[in-house]
Structures are given as C-alpha cells and as structure tokens.
Amino acid sequence: MDDLAIVNLYWDRNTDAIKETQNKYGKLIIAVAYRILGIIEDAVECENDTYLKTWNSIPDARPDKLGAYTCKISRNLAIDLYDKKNAAKRGAGSIDSIIDDMHECIPDNTSSIDNTNDVELGIIISDFLKKQSVTRRRIFIKRYFVGLSIDEIADDMELTKSNVKMSLMRMRKTLKEELQ
C-alpha cells in the first residue's frame, strides 16, 4: 500500500492505518530507535509510541512521505527516552560521538524557552542538505539522523571510511559557517 493510501486511512480514522504503517515501516522505525537507545525493548516501546503519536497527529498533518514522518517521530521519542533514562550504555556506543560531532557546529540551546530556534535550525539544516550532492546528503542523514557508524555508512555506500569521515567533516565545517 502506498503512503497516500495509508495517510487516507489515518484521515478516515481507520485502525488498519496502524497495521499498514507497521507492515511498511515497522522495521525502519525500530531501527531508528534502536540506533539511539541500543536496547531492543526500548526501541519496540518507541515503535508503539510512534504509532500512537502518528495516529494523534495525522488529522492535523498530511505528510507526503509517511516513512520520513514516522522515522522522525520515532527518532524524537527515542532521544526523549534516552535523555530520560540517561543510561550508561548509550546508543550502542554511537550517540555520544554523534552528539560530539554536531556540538562543534550547532550551539546548545537547552536554555531557550520556546522552540523557535529549533524550527529555524531545522529549516537551515534542510536548506543546507538540499545544496549537497545526493551522496553527501545520504552520508549526513545516515550518520546524524539514522545514527549509523562510519564503518556502516562506508560499507552500505561502498565508500572508504576516510571518504565518509572527510565528507562529514567538510559538511560540518560548511554547516557551521552557514549557522554563523
């Protein structure tokens, strides 16, 4: 079933929408959460919460890309759960390095009262990614959205590790310049 048909099921308040979303994107939703949490039970919890949040949000939103929409929800839920648990074992060893990477170019705005800065930051990053080549964009998303390791990205995209590292370093530098 295509995304439009599934979104229409949500709009019709048909509970088959959840089953169809799980059939099409369930493994991806769990994978995104698992990359952050490193515990399968927590990732499954995020998957279930993703379906609930999607169910509650779709009447107000009509996403064109349901996979990206649900993955973003899963990712945000996983990050919230990660923060809540503040576990010693973090993201199968990768979340700390991802945060450290991005911390060099994105300022910490945890003291801000509203989410305006977060929305603006999201727009800037989206615009930044649109300017990148398809390969560089995929590397960035695989690293900072999905949470894959450098080795996994290199294997998946058939690139060398140094090529992936260099691309990420250059993109962080360029993003930092755009943010300044």
pLDDT score of 94: 58
Q: What percent of the chain has pLDDT over 70?
A: 81
pLDDT score of 86: 61
Residue 92 has pLDDT above 60, yes or no: no
| Domains, the chain | 3-85 (1.10.1740.10), 94-179 (1.10.10.10)
State the DSSP string of 10-45: HHTT-THHHHHHHHHHHHHHHHHHHHHH--HHHHHH
- Segment 156-173 mean pLDDT: 91
CA distances from 32 to 27, 101, 113 (A): 9, 18, 28
Each residue of 55-86: pLDDT tens digit?
998 877 788 889 989 999 999 999 888 877 76
CA neighbor of 71 nearest in space, from 41, 27, 111: 27
pLDDT score of 97: 65
pLDDT score of 106: 67
pLDDT score of 87: 44
pLDDT score of 127: 87
pLDDT score of 136: 92
CA neighbor of 55 nearest in space, from 22, 33, 24, 31: 22
- Segment 12-38 mean pLDDT: 92
Residue 93 has pLDDT above 50, yes or no: no
Each residue of 128-139: pLDDT tens digit?
889 999 999 999
Each residue of 99-153: pLDDT tens digit?
666 666 665 554 444 454 667 777 888 888 899 999 999 998 888 887 788 888 9
